[in-house]
Amino acid sequence: MNTHRPERALLAAVGVAHLLPATVAFSRTGVERAYGVTVADDDTELLLRHRATFFGLLGAALLAGAVDDRYRKPAIAMGSVSVGSFLLLAQAGDLSAELQRVRRIDIALLGALAAASAGEVAALCRRRRPGRRRRAAE
C-alpha cells in the first residue's frame, strides 16, 4: 500500500506557502509591505488584492491535493504553472529585494512540486508493475 506521504507533505508545504500571501488580500498596506511596492491607485490595489485571493484559492487546492488523491495531479499542475509562470516573467527585468525573495521561494516551491510529481510517477510505475507480472505468469 502506498500512502504518498512525501508527496502529501510537499503539497501541504507548497499550499501553506501560497496561503501566506493570500493574507494581504485584506489590506493595501499588506500588499505594499509584502512586495516592497507603493500601490499607486485604487485600481492597482484591487488587482493586487484580487491576485492575493487567487493565491488563497491555489493554496486551498494544493492542500486538497495533499489530502485527497483525486486532486493531487491537478493541484501539482496548477501549482507548477503558477510558480513557473512567475519565474519566467521575473526574468524580464530587475527585481526589488522583496521580489527577489519571492523568486527564491518560488524556485524552492517549484522543486517541491517537481519532487511531488516525480513521486506520483514513481507510484504509478510501482502500481503498474505487479499487474504485468501477474499477466505474464498466467
**pLDDT value for 114:** 97
Q: How many domains, in total, are found in the chain?
A: 1
Q: Is residue 132 part of a domain?
A: no
Put simply, whether the predicted model's pTM sits higher than 0.85 gets the answer no
Q: Is residue 8 part of a domain?
A: yes
Q: How far apart are CA 49 and CA 61, in angstroms?
A: 19
**pLDDT value for 1:** 43
Q: Hey, is 7 helix, strand or coil?
A: helix
Q: Is residue 74 part of a domain?
A: yes
Note the pLDDT tens digit of each residue in 10-51: 999 999 999 998 999 888 998 888 888 899 999 999 999 999
Q: Is residue 21 a contact partner of residue 55, using CB atoms and an 8 Å limit?
A: yes
Q: Is residue 94 part of a domain?
A: yes
Q: How far apart are CA 58 and CA 79, in angstroms?
A: 7
List, in order, residues 6 or more apart from 124 with CB less than 8 Å away.
Answer: none
Domain of 38, in residue numbers: 4-126
pLDDT band at 3 (very low <50, low <70, confident <90, very high): low
Report whether pLDDT(100) > 50. yes
Note the pLDDT tens digit of each residue in 63-94: 999 999 999 999 999 999 999 999 999 998 88
Specify the residue for cell string 495531479. Answer: 73
Q: Is residue 135 part of a domain?
A: no
Q: How far apart are CA 132 and CA 130, in angstroms?
A: 5
**pLDDT value for 4:** 65
